Each structure stands twice: as C-alpha cells, then as structure tokens.
Structure 1
Amino acid sequence: MTSTARPDEDPAFEWTRPGLHLRFDHGHDRPVRLVRLATGPDATSVAAPWAIVDVYTPGEHRARNNQSLLHSGAGQRLRYTGHESLGDELRVRQHDPQTGLEVTSAFRAAGPGLQIRHTVRNTSEREVVLLSVSSALVAVPDDGGHELLWGESEWLAEGRWHQRPLAELLPDIHPELHGGQYSRGLFSLTSHGSWSSGSFLPTGVLASADGPSLAWQVETSAGWHWEAALTGGTVTVGVHGATDMHHQFAARLAPGEEFTSVPAGLCVADGGRDAAFAALTGYRRAIRGLRAVDARLPVVYNDFMNTLMGWPTTERLLPLIESAAEAGAEYFCIDAGWFAALKGSWWTNAGDWFEAPERFTGGLVSVIDAIRANGMRPGLWLEPEAVGVESPAARRLPDEAFFQRFGERVSEAGHFQLDLRHPAARAHLDETVDRLVNEFGIGFFKLDYNTNTGLGTDVDAAGPGAGLLGHTRALRDWLRDAQARHPELLFENCGSGGMRMDYNILSVAHLQSTSDQQDFRAYAPIAAAAPASVLPEQAGNWAYPAASMSLEETAFAMTAGVMGRIYLSGFLGELGAEQSALVREAVALHKDRRHRIAESHPAWPLGLPGWDDDVIALQLDAGSESLLALWSRGGAAAIALPGLRGRTLEQVYPAALPPWAIRTDGDAPVVEVPAGPAARIFAVL
C-alpha cells in the first residue's frame, strides 16, 4: 500500500512496521527530524528530535562551530516536500532552495532493524559538488547511563571490543555556563584506506541498562566514519560513508545527476549490549541475499592455515584430501599458489589464474578429480582485484583498468589493483570465474584481498575516496552477477583474514574468514568476538589441529570452529587416533547444530572477550538449542554465569575428555574451569 503526504499537511507523521515505530516532524523553519524510534508504539523511544540527513558542499560546511559532521549548512536548509510508504520502505523528500539539491531519504525495514540511505539529486542548472552525505543520524537522550561499545582490529588480532561509560569519553563541559553551546568534542572512528576493517570495525553500540539501546553498522567496503557527539541534552550518533575530511571523497553532480549514500544499518533494542547485538544479528540475516546453496552451510577444508601456506602440489594435496574427507569435510579448497611456477614469486606473478602444470602430476584436473572421488566439492583461492606486477595481465590490460593516482598505477607490495568500474577489468574476472567453473567444476572460491591500496583512485572520480567507493560497489555487483550465472557456486570473503569484513560484501557472500591467526590460543578471543561483526553462520573460524598438540589443546582448537562455521585445516593425517576422534566429533557436532546456529544470536556471559582474558565465553542463543563455549587460557577458576540463572548446562564436546564440574550458586551455574589451554562446549537447557 502506498500513502503520500504533501507539505501543507500535518507536520508530523508516523511509520510502523513489525518491531519498529518511527515518528518524524518538520516545519517551515527546520528540516525533517526523526523524533521517535522504538520497537513499538508503546515502547520507550531511543531517539530525540534530530535532522535525518546532513549534506556537505565545498562552499558551505558547518552551520555552527564543532568538530563533528553535524549541522551542515545545506542539511539545515532542507525543507520537507513529501513522503510515501511503499511496502517495507518509507521515502521522505526534502529540498534546499539555495543549492537546488533534492534529497530522498529511504528507510527500509529489514527484520528488527532499518537500512537507511539518502539519494541527493541536483535539480539546479549548475554543477554541485558533494563532500559528504550522512547515512544515518540519531540523537539519543543523554541520561548519564549509556555505555559506548566499539571494536578495534588488525591483522591477526581482529575484533578487540571496548565498552566504556559515555561520560568518560565525552565529558560534561557545563554548556549552561557558555551560552548553551554544544560541546565540540566527539568520539569517532574512521577507516583507513581500502581495508574497511583494518583498524576499526564499522559497527558500534550505544547501550543502556535501563532503557533502549542503539546499534549501527556502515555497509561499505570503502571509506567510512562514525561518531558520537554531545549535543545539548543528547548524544548524537552520526554514521557516514567516505567524506572529504577523512577520505578525500568528492562527487560532482551535473544538473539532473544524483548520488546515493552508502547504506547504514540501524537497530533499536529494549535491553543492553547483548540485546543490541541480537537485533543487529537479526537485521544482518534480513539483508542477506540467501540462496539455496548458501543454506546448506557445508563444512570446508582449506589447505592454507598452518599447513601448505601457499605451496600446493599433487604430492602434498592427496593425503590432505583423504584425511579431510575422513574428518567429514564437504568442500576442499586449494589455497594460494596453485597458479604459480615452482620457481619465482607466486605473489608478483598472480593475476592470470591459469594452473602451474609443473605443480600437479597429471595436471590440476587430477587433484580436482581426487577431491570429487573423496565425496567433496572442489574450491580454489583467488585474489580477484590483485594483479602481480610481473603478471602477463599487468601488461595486457589497459592502464585505465587499474587504480591510479596522478597518472600512475598504484602499486602496493608488488600488486596492482584492478578497478572493476572498467569493462576490461570486469571482463577479465568474468572470464576467469567462468573458465574455472566450466573447466574444473569449481564449486567454491576463496576471494582474498591482501593489500591496503590506500585512499582509492582518481580515475573518473572527483576524489580518490569516490573512486574507491565506485570500485567496491562494482565489486559487489560483479559478485552478485557471478552468483546469478553460477547458482551452485559459493564465495568466501577474506581480506588477510578479517581486514575487509563488512556487509557491503557479506550481504552477498557466503563465508567470512575471521582471521589469519596461526596461534590456536589467540584464536579464541577472535572467534568469540566474531559474531559481533558477522553472522555466526558466516564466521569462518579456522580449526587447525596439529600432531604436536595435546588432546586438550586439540579440543581447544576445534571449539572455535564449532562456534561459528567450522573452517578445517591442518595435517589431519598426522594426528593420533584420539586426536582424530576429537576432530571427527567436533565436525559431527557442528553438522548437527549448524542450522540451529544459523538461527541463533550471540551473547557473552562474561562480557565481550579481552585479548588477554584467561577465560572466554560465547553463547549462541537459540532458545532451548543454545550452545555455550568456555575457553580456559589461565589458571583454574570457578566461573559464575549469573546471566544463565535457572538454566542447566550439559557438556556436549568433547565426550572423550573429563567433564568440567558444574554446580549452582542459588540457581546460577558455576563452572569449575581447569588450567588451560582447555575448552568445553555445553548445551544450555
């Protein structure tokens, strides 16, 4: 059903969908404001009145002094021109008479959350340049009880979350003594270069113990920025894609042209931290393009981590194939190096994606046949956007098909970066995927992205930040089109582990490698924190047992895989009989629970894990089908779980190792955790 309103009608309007209730107002002297955001008509609102969009242009920045991206001049001049409801989407239209910019704000209901984007159209007769367009703005009443959660990231140490009282981050400056001015301080996080999660995670939570909480994510693989600023009696959260200030972004709009902001995901939850992440989990499921092949959730073995590390040959692969099948793997992915000659650099020669025949006795097809003969589907590693500087593709493709700055190709650590806006780059990757699927019957591609190539490209872009955004949008389109041509094909997203982990890609990809971390002890906090950033059923946690491990260490290493999507690796054929049994048991447990994991939401009974925590806990809550993992990395301790009051714990992995003693304190479980490394998985009944 479509409903519309005109400027002369009621200056306030509401929009309701299951689990969402929004109210807006507007006036002749102010832009459209979001004045209410709640889970229902009778629920407490998380929002205070605030404009729904900010737009920056070169000739006019802020309308009042501050350091945030709030109060843009053009944004403050926008005036309501109408709105309409089209099914699960509300569209609000505004116009700035001075610049001629028309903004259509789209609020799309997706599960328990909103996906928000703004389209800016130039209705004037002259060119207008945009320097930034916000994705989401929400003001939250500041009652002094909020805590802000944010995540840091880096190679091998992804997902290090922090939770601090907002009052510690944004001090009260007593604005009543300074003419009522807003604070000019803010807390902000900004991406750096082409790794969207290389330094920080594009996700945040403003949690309240007594009222509703707010969670958000920026859905882009290009530049992004989010900030929280004190604005009188509120704290305003601003979610942005690339900006001129932070990423050298600019978009030139000729008359009639338009630009659409990157999407922002926004969730309100009636509860604290875990409720906010639960809502975000439901929202992520709602925006995924889930295909029948994705829903199978197969167990994948990959030969890289702590195993071949980029040097596959027939002789090395055949025993791995047999042992992976015996362990229960359903796909076998040959990782990096399959295309590279035994002499030379596989890194700088990558880019043509033809097999290196001297690596494989009988050719690569003989290895692929062995994978199938063992009941698995074959997969290959690709780094699609990278072309090694010594690759024939680097000479064959035109300069315009690559990232450039100031007329020169961008080279990073021996790689050029393809620009998928260019038809030659797109055709090169289409031919690669189609050929490998048709020639070898490939059913799985691990798509890696190992270099941070900087701000972007200035080819056909007003600024490099805009060039990077255009490329990453084209990358998503390419991935969707490849899946449409090959509906049985699965794609993993990887960026040196979790360096490009965002829902621009993950909304259309099957799996996310959560890290390259090779120390199984250090993987525990990464695996436990991963569901804050990525759906549990997409969180590809490596499980790489080794013959040198004790039985307890083997179970510890396998637990990370079970509590997400198990991603097998390691020399499984070298394991002892008891170790092999632990591996098979973990794989069987994961297979039994994987579809319930895909309906669960994460909770952290001991809080989000610290990097050096002795005991780490992750619950995948699916009601009566919940799983709880406890990892011990320190001394023996009695661990109370008051959040599971009234619930019973039953150990489900590993069956062959001693059970951990469980008692109750009142009606809350207390687990006697031994000295580590050791881990157990419990059913929560």
Structure 2
Amino acid sequence: MSDTEPRRWTLRGAHTEYTVTVPAHGRWLELAAWGPHGVGDGPSPVAYDGPVPFLTAGDAAPVEFATDADRPFTGADLVVETATGHRRVGFGFVEAAHDPAGGTLAVTFADPVTGLRAVLRYAVPAGTDVVRRWVELTNTGAEPLVLARAGSAGFCVPTPHGALVSHQWGQWAQEFQLAHVDLDHGAFTIGSSQGVPGHLHVPWLAVRDRAEPDGAAWAVAVAWTGSWEISAERDTGGLTRIRAGRRLPDGPLELPAGGELTLPEVVGAYSVEGLTGLARVWHRYQRHLAGDRLAPRPVLYNSWEATYFAVDAKSQLDLARIAAEVGVETFVVDDGWFVGRDDDTAGLGDWTPDPAAFPDGFEAFIADVRALGLRFGLWVEPECVNPRSRLYAEHPDWVYRLDGRPLTPIRNQYLLDVGRPEVAEFVHSTLDGLLRRYDISYLKWDFNRPRTEPGRAGADGPLDLDGAHVTNLHRIYERLRRDHPGVLVESCAGGGARTDLAMAARADIFWPSDNTGPLDRLAIQYGFLHANAPHLLSSWVTDAPGIFDPRPRSLAFRFVLAMAGVLGVGADIRQWTPAERAEAAGWIARYKEIREVVTQGEVHLIGGPDQARCAVQYTSPDGRRVVVLAWHTGRSDGAGLLPSRPVRLPLRGLTPEAAYRHGDQRYSGSHLTAVGLPVRWTPTHDADLIVLDRE
C-alpha cells in the first residue's frame, strides 16, 4: 500500500458497519465508527484530538490493539519484555489486506527494535452483526520475547453521559445472574483464573450510554475456554474502552525467536435495540457457528436425579420405558455406569462399563434401550481422575501438580494435564473408543473442578498450561465431531462453568446449571438467553425445589420453562402418577410442534423474573408463527377475590395490520404490540404456552 492510498477500511454486517483507520503517524489502528449502516458517514463519535495533560495521545485515542508504548498509563492490551527486561514495544504500520465482499481485514504492524510482528485480523460473518477479532504474533527477531500481558483487542464505545455496564455473575447453582453497574468513571473488571470460564462470571459484557438504556448497545465476548478477562474503563472524555482476552494465571508467555502465537478470538456485537436486541445478534451468530448442525434437538431424559450413582440395567430400563411412553427421544445414563463408581470417590478415569450393573453386557443394555425407540446417551468426565482409580495408579504424573507440593482434591478428584500430548490422546481415544464400540448418539461431557496446581511433573521452566489444555480440548472436540457427526455433545462444567463462544462453535448444547428448581432456573435461563441462543439451552423438568426461591410451581410451569430451549426430563418419573405422566406426554407433544420455531426463531425477551410479566417470544423466520412462553413470577396463593385485569405481554416484531389467531381468539398485530397478549394467572394456572398463527 502506498502512502497516497487511504488507510481506512469498513467491514459491513447485515445491519451494521465497523470502520477503522491508521492515523498519519502510523503507530496504531484506531476505531472510526461502529454502529448501524452509514454511521461512519460523518465525524467519528470516538475520536479525540484535544490536549491530554499528563497522558499521551494514545491514552485517549480509540486504539484497537495497544502496546504499552501506545497506552503507557491507561492500560495496554499487549505488554512485551525483551531478554534484558526492557518494555515499550512500539509498532509501525506495514500493510493491509481488505476483502469487502468476504468481510475480512488484516492489518500488519511491526516493531523495528525487537522484530515483533502483529497481524490484526477482523472478520464479519455473512448475515451477522458481529465482528470477530484476533491477533497473530510472530517474533522475527533474534532474541526471545516475553508477553507479560496478552489481551486480544480493545473495543471503544461512546458513552458521553456515563456508561451502563451489564454483566452476568454467579456461583454454582446460581449462574447467569444479569446485573448492571453504573460506571461514571474508572474501571470494572471480570474474569476467571480457573482454567475454565467459571461459574463466577460469564465471558460477556455489554455497555450502553446511561442516557439511552433502551437504545444503542455494544457487547464483547471472549471465545476462549480457559482463563480470561474483560475490563471496561470510562475516561474523562466520555469514551469507554473494553479490553478483552486471555488472563495469564501461569505467568508470562514466552515467544522464542522465530516463534508464532495466535491470541484468542474476541467478538464484538452491536444493536440499536438495547440488551434484547444484542441477544438476537448473539443468537444469529451462534446459529451461524452451528452451521448444518442447527436442527431441533431431541427431547431427552437424564437419569441422574432419579438414581444418582445407583445405576444398573434394571433401574435404567424401568426409567427408559416410562420415558418412551411419554414421548422422550433420547435416554441419557448419567454418572455411575462404569467400574468402581459407587460414589464420587473412585472410578473416574476407568471408563469401562460395570459388569455387575450390566450383567448381560453394556451392548445388550443399549440395544434394549434402542428397542424402545430411544436414542442412547452417556455421561462422561474425561478430563478428571479419582485417586482411587487404575488410571491414577498407573499415571500419577498425568495430573497437574507442583513437585514437592501436596495435591488439592476437589470433589475427590484431580485434573488431568490435557496439554500433555499423551494425556490428550488418552482422552480422545477413550471417547472415540466408546463411540465406536457402542451405539451412542449423545455425550454429556462434564467438568467438575477448576485447575488448582499450576505445574507439570518434572517440568523444566515455565509452561503455558492454560493455553495447551484449551488447544488440545478444542482439537478433541473437533476430531470427535469430524469422526462422529451424528453424535450430539453437551458441554457441562458442574453446571454452566464452561460456556463461551469457542465451545459454542464445538459443542451442540450447554448445561447452564445444576439447579433445576423452577423460579431459580427462570432467572438462570433469563440471563443465559441474553448471551446464548435457545438451541444451546438444555433444560430439564424435575421435582427439585428451588434453592434461592423455594416457592412451589406446577408441573406445567416446569415444562413451559424447559421448553425455552432444549426440552429434557430429569425427574424420577417412576414416582409420577398416571395423571402426571399423561400431562407430561401432552407437554412433550406440544413441544415437538413448536421446537423448530424455538430453534430457528427470532427471540424477544419480555419483562423478567423480577417483574410482574415474564415471557419469551419466538417468531418463526417467515413471521407466520409466534410462540410465547409465559410464567407467573409473583405469589401463587390467593383466590383472586378482588377486581383485576390480566397481565399484558407486549409482543415485538409483528406486522401491525396482520391478524394473528390463537384458537378462537383473533388479534391484530397492532393490538399485540401496543396493548399486549393477555394472560391471567390463578393459583392453579402459573404458566402458559401460547401459539399465534398469522392469517
């Protein structure tokens, strides 16, 4: 590219555009505009050319990827040390390659002193409104370099009236709790050092201007299944910069002479329709990631809450027969099916079916399940091992450990060092072997502990344990998907501790929480759907009470709740009465009629779990069918003796002049939008599924 050519490029999404430019000095790439089509046709809303007392120009500029030479005081994305301990790597623009039709951009910078070369890559997938970003680093110098900070990107958002930062916090059994922080000045940071995204925070963060909470919204998510970090910092000029990428719990990363390193992908999203509009942007993108695997998931039954570790052929077949009778399509045997697994103190790592539990053989048992018209699924936790197992006795060096230090057991188990090639091959061959030997069409892949020991037995020098584990984990998923394309894989980590965009590209379904209590689960799923599509949401109907909100709810409430994503049943259905089984069969049949719309439809979140109205609307791609799932979030007692009016649910995205019919009732689109769909709750009617067909 010559000096006379413009150094400004625009990537266009379905409804949005993202424009970046290299200033005349050539030291960095910066944002010019990010928003709806045409937003870049005018002065940049994020540029700042005024004085910066006690700062540098880069500290105030909307820099896309900053070294500590660019932003020495307000926070860099990349901090590099030389062999002599010097910092302040400074880049200069080299070249750019832009493919407007393909939605890609690559901008190359280099540091003439160290020889570090960085390619900033962008991609906007067709039909989406997200911008994917990652950085490829190459050390072309003669000396090794050390990366003290290795963030992937900075995203700049105009917040002239203050920033409203939205995030999702949680803990085990209380994941995806949506919360908001009023950020006038300063920084807000979330992340994980657990070697997994974790229960405490979701790798997702959204920012809005405080004066426009229902207007423009920007969000950033990290596509990395290990330790991560996102921070948002608002400066005195009204700009909020979001930094995102890896957190380095194992210490700095080494980049030897001639070495290459690709930093994790981070993804930015924009919507003019606030948080619920952002949710639809994420849903479209995750459906894009699913590709040809985006199809309605089968209704499943999972045996965990019915039998726990007491798994044997008879009890499982008793459950399978009832499950088949009520319309279930896949039967999943959970923990307890393999040798030594009478409780959680032994067996992990020894993935052989227990012959005492399956005296006629595991193949015969699966054949009996299949004969009921059911697909067969299995729970596994291949990255973990119990001290009381044959695998650990033979390979004690395969777990993360620090020489001379005691191991930390969590849930009576240790974590395998999947970054070691031989351990990765063991995990892959174990799962591949199970899938080749047995007629399995569904895997629930669990992960029940974080990484505690930051070391490898006999290691000489520092290692990127987090990076090696995640890289091999992703490769195993990809190999299994390639070799067993008909097998659905559910990603679980003690509930929702492993949900990120990298897993959304490799797993078919997420298990968001071990908490299946009705009102607790409603709050969990409400948050989940803000950042994840319904086809990723696995939800079971159980008899479990709530942990945080124990108010009882009906079986109908539990079914309508589980229909918000991928319907499953996890109760001990042997204990259900004939009437309850008949009700379940009716709900399952209704779900099968609507699941295509739930999987493919445009989602609108109405109200919330803490509001008088709470519903989710799914509109089919052609707009002809609207499915509304609604729940009563208030008190369930009282006979309704005083005058009252029904709760009204304002629907969205309808054709105002069109007519929509539900049974004998006919509504105009205008009525459903302006007045709302009426629902009336009673002590015995606390949830509803309403299907509207456009005439």
Q: Please say whether Structure 1 and Structure 2 have the same fold, judged by a TM-score greater than 0.5.
A: yes
Contact 1:137–1:239 under 8 Å retained in 2:
yes
Q: 1:160 to 1:682 in 2, by over 3 A?
A: same
One-letter amino acid of the counterpart of residue 98, structure 2: S
Q: 1:51 to 1:574 in 2, by over 3 A?
A: same
Contact 1:512–1:540 under 8 Å retained in 2:
yes
One-letter amino acid of the counterpart of residue 131, structure 1: A
One-letter amino acid of the counterpart of residue 299, structure 2: V
Matching residue of 1:566: 567
One-letter amino acid of the counterpart of residue 107, structure 1: Y
Q: 1:374 to 1:133 in 2, by over 3 A?
A: same
Contact 1:222–1:241 under 8 Å retained in 2:
no
* 1:384 CA displacement: 0.9
Contact 1:54–1:75 under 8 Å retained in 2:
no
Q: 1:298 to 1:210 in 2, by over 3 A?
A: closer
Within 5 Å, give how 1:507-656 maps onto structure 2.
Answer: 507-545=505-543, 553-607=554-608, 609-610=609-610, 616-622=614-620, 623-635=623-635, 638-642=646-650, 644=652
Q: Equivalent of 1:89, from 92, 96, 104?
A: 104
Within 5 Å, give how 1:339-358 maps onto structure 2.
Answer: 339-341=338-340, 345-358=343-356
Contact 2:286–2:505 under 8 Å retained in 1:
yes
Q: 1:64 to 1:325 in 2, by over 3 A?
A: same
Partner-residue secondary structure (3-state), 2:475: helix
* 1:321 CA displacement: 0.5
Contact 2:302–2:333 under 8 Å retained in 1:
yes
Within 5 Å, give how 1:377-396 maps onto structure 2.
Answer: 377-396=375-394
How far apart, CA to CA, are the structure 2 residues paired with 1:437 and 1:508? 17
Q: 1:30 to 1:232 in 2, by over 3 A?
A: farther
How far apart, CA to CA, are the structure 2 residues paired with 1:648 and 1:251? 61
5+ long unaligned stretches in structure 2: 48-60, 81-86, 637-643, 664-670
Q: 1:664 to 1:213 in 2, by over 3 A?
A: closer
Matching residue of 1:38: 35
Matching residue of 1:105: 120
Q: 1:617 to 1:448 in 2, by over 3 A?
A: same
Partner-residue secondary structure (3-state), 1:405: coil
Matching residue of 1:124: 141
Listed one character per residue, the Cα deviations across residues 245-284 of structure 1 (whole Å, up to 9, x for unaligned) are xx34421111111211111111111221111111121122
The answer to whether residue 65 in structure 2 is matched with residue 53 in structure 1 is yes
* 1:189 CA displacement: 0.9
How far apart, CA to CA, are the structure 1 residues paired with 2:424 and 2:413? 17
The answer to whether residue 687 in structure 2 is matched with residue 679 in structure 1 is yes
Matching residue of 2:271: 269
Listed one character per residue, the Cα deviations across residues 377-426 of structure 1 (whole Å, up to 9, x for unaligned) are 21111101001111111122362x33233566854323221222222212
How far apart, CA to CA, are the structure 2 residues paired with 1:397 and 1:670? 62
One-letter amino acid of the counterpart of residue 91, structure 1: A
How far apart, CA to CA, are the structure 2 residues paired with 1:458 and 1:130? 21
Contact 1:302–1:333 under 8 Å retained in 2:
yes
The answer to whether residue 183 in structure 2 is matched with residue 169 in structure 1 is yes
- Percent of pairs identical after alignment? 21
Within 5 Å, give how 1:310-321 maps onto structure 2.
Answer: 310-321=309-320
Q: Between Structure 1 and Structure 2, how many residues are aligned?
A: 638
The answer to whether residue 478 in structure 2 is matched with residue 446 in structure 1 is no
How far apart, CA to CA, are the structure 1 residues paired with 2:479 and 2:424? 11
Within 5 Å, give how 1:151-162 maps onto structure 2.
Answer: 151-162=168-179
One-letter amino acid of the counterpart of residue 336, structure 2: G
Cα RMSD of the aligned pairs, angstroms, is 3.1
Q: 1:444 to 1:75 in 2, by over 3 A?
A: farther
One-letter amino acid of the counterpart of residue 77, structure 1: G
How far apart, CA to CA, are the structure 2 residues paired with 1:323 and 1:461? 56
> Which stretch of the first structure deviates more once superposed, 370-379 or 415-424?
415-424
Listed one character per residue, the Cα deviations across residues 348-378 of structure 1 (whole Å, up to 9, x for unaligned) are 3211200111112323233212111101121
One-letter amino acid of the counterpart of residue 225, structure 1: E
Contact 1:397–1:424 under 8 Å retained in 2:
no
How far apart, CA to CA, are the structure 1 residues paired with 2:673 and 2:352? 62
> Which stretch of the first structure deviates more once superposed, 154-163 or 358-367?
358-367
One-letter amino acid of the counterpart of residue 21, structure 1: E
5+ long unaligned stretches in structure 1: 172-184, 653-662
* 1:485 CA displacement: 1.5
Contact 1:79–1:96 under 8 Å retained in 2:
yes
How far apart, CA to CA, are the structure 2 residues paired with 1:651 and 1:524? 25
How far apart, CA to CA, are the structure 2 residues paired with 1:40 and 1:497? 39
How far apart, CA to CA, are the structure 1 residues paired with 2:252 and 2:530? 31
One-letter amino acid of the counterpart of residue 585, structure 1: G
Q: 1:219 to 1:551 in 2, by over 3 A?
A: closer
How far apart, CA to CA, are the structure 2 residues paired with 1:478 and 1:617? 38
* 1:9 CA displacement: 2.9
Matching residue of 1:334: 333
Q: Equivalent of 1:13, from 9, 20, 24?
A: 9
One-letter amino acid of the counterpart of residue 93, structure 1: T
Contact 2:119–2:135 under 8 Å retained in 1:
yes
Listed one character per residue, the Cα deviations across residues 603-643 of structure 1 (whole Å, up to 9, x for unaligned) are 22214x34xx6653323344443322222242368534345
Within 5 Å, give how 1:322-471 maps onto structure 2.
Answer: 322-341=321-340, 345-397=343-395, 399=397, 401-406=398-403, 410-413=407-410, 414-454=412-452, 456-457=454-455, 466-471=464-469
One-letter amino acid of the counterpart of residue 629, structure 1: L
Contact 1:410–1:453 under 8 Å retained in 2:
no
Listed one character per residue, the Cα deviations across residues 429-468 of structure 1 (whole Å, up to 9, x for unaligned) are 232123222322212111000112237545769757x311
Q: 1:210 to 1:593 in 2, by over 3 A?
A: closer
Partner-residue secondary structure (3-state), 2:258: coil
Contact 1:194–1:455 under 8 Å retained in 2:
no
One-letter amino acid of the counterpart of residue 31, structure 1: W
Q: 1:461 to 1:322 in 2, by over 3 A?
A: farther
How far apart, CA to CA, are the structure 2 residues paired with 1:277 and 1:119? 29
One-letter amino acid of the counterpart of residue 590, structure 2: L
How far apart, CA to CA, are the structure 2 residues paired with 1:328 and 1:350? 32
